[in-house]
Amino acid sequence: MPKLIKNGRVIDDAAQILVLDETQAPEALSLPEGPVFVPLAVWQAHKGILADNKAVGVWLDSHESVEDLAEDLDSLSAVALNFPKFTDGRAYSGAALLRTRYGFKGEIRAIGDVLRDQFFFMQRCGFDTIQPKTGKYSDAQLNEALASLKDFSAPYQAAVDQPEPLFRRAQRAA
């Protein structure tokens, strides 16, 4: 079973990420068995049926806006944000918005080109679940990569994981 990092630990995860190819219309829904993340277009086409299914999450690509999910967050337990390339940093803002502006308490999962040297930033922006591509890291490498979550122990600025900046948290030497 594929492995990912959730709340700082490596766990097994069975969720599938449904990707439509060009021939598939969002309206023609066929869900695989078990937990699944569907594209925003599928969610929007089938919201009524999918909303009660706790096995269904939604994934957004980096050009899609979290605002489009804002109304639906109460009926979702998980949202995944895609990094088409690890250098495309839009999902950091997306995750931060989901947590701070929309108060989303469910799972926020980083998917796509997800690399260990960005884990720290992802965690700070509110991703609790980090899923590198299948085969990117061996189980041993993924365990080693947990260390990257702790690259910096006392960051300066406020972010989702640490809502107070250093100057409010600590008595700093003058």
Partner 1 sequence: MYRYDSYDQKIVDERVAQFRDQTRRYLAGELTDDEFRPLRLQNGLYIQRHAPMLRVAVPYGLLSSTQVRTLAHIARTHDKGYAHITTRQNVQFNWPELKVVPEILAELAKVEMHAIQTSGACIRNITSDPFAGVAGDEYIDPRPWCEVLRQWSTFHPEFAFLPRKFKIAVNGATQDRAVIQCHDIGLELKRDAAGEIGFRVLVGGGMGRTPIIGSEITDFVPWQHIITYCEAILRVYNRYGRRDNLYKARIKILVKALGIAEFKRQVEEEWAFGKDGANTLTEAEVARVAAHFTTPAYAQLPAEDAAYAAQRAANPAFAAWARRNVLAHKVPGYAIVVLSLKDPSRAPGDITDAQLDQVADWADAYSFGEVRATHEQNLVLADVRQSDLFAVWEKARAAGLATPTFGLLTDIICCPGGDFCALANAKSIPIANAIQARFEDLDYLYDIGDIELNISGCMNSCGHHHVGHIGILGVDKNGSEWYQVSLGGSQGNDTSIGKVIGRSFAAAEMPDVITNIIDVYRAQRLEGERFIETVRRIGLDPFKIGVYGDAAIIERKQHA
**Residues ≥6 apart with Cβ < 8 Å to 13:** 1, 2, 3, 4, 6, 131
Size of the site for partner 1 (CB under 8 A): 40
The reply on whether position 105 binds partner 1 by CB under 8 A is: no
Nearest to 38 by CA among 13, 64, 16: 16
How far is CA 35 from its chain centroid? 15
Q: What would the two tokens of residue 151 be?
A: 């690259």
Find tokens 């799972």 and name the residue: 107
- Residue 172 interacting with partner 1 (CB under 8 A): yes
Instruction: Give CA–CA dist 74/37, Å, rounded.
Output: 16
Q: How far apart are CA 52 and CA 50, in angstroms?
A: 6
Query: Is residue 89 at the binding interface for partner 1, with CB under 8 A as the rule?
Result: yes
Measured from the CB atom, the residue of 2 and 163 that comes closer to partner 1 is 163
- Please answer whether residues 111 and 83 qualify as being in contact, where contact means their C-beta atoms are separated by less than 8 angstroms: yes
Answer for which of 38, 80, 90, 130 binds partner 1 (CB under 8 A) is 90
Which one, of 50, 44, 88, lies nearest residue 69 by Cα?
A: 44
Q: Does 140 bind partner 1 (CB under 8 A)?
A: no
142 binds partner 1 (CB under 8 A): no
Taking CB under 8 A as the rule, does residue 44 contact partner 1? no
**Residue 93 contacts partner 1 per CB under 8 A:** yes
Site for partner 1 contains 109 (CB under 8 A): no
- To partner 1, the closest distance from the beta carbon of 67 in angstroms equals 10
Q: Closer CB to partner 1, residue 131 or residue 148?
A: 148
Q: How far is the CB of 165 from partner 1 (least distance, A)?
A: 6
Furthest-apart CA atoms within the chain: distance in Å: 64
Applying CB under 8 A, the residues found at the interface with partner 1 are: 65, 86-90, 92-94, 96, 100-101, 115, 117-118, 120-122, 124-125, 141, 151-159, 163-168, 170, 172-174
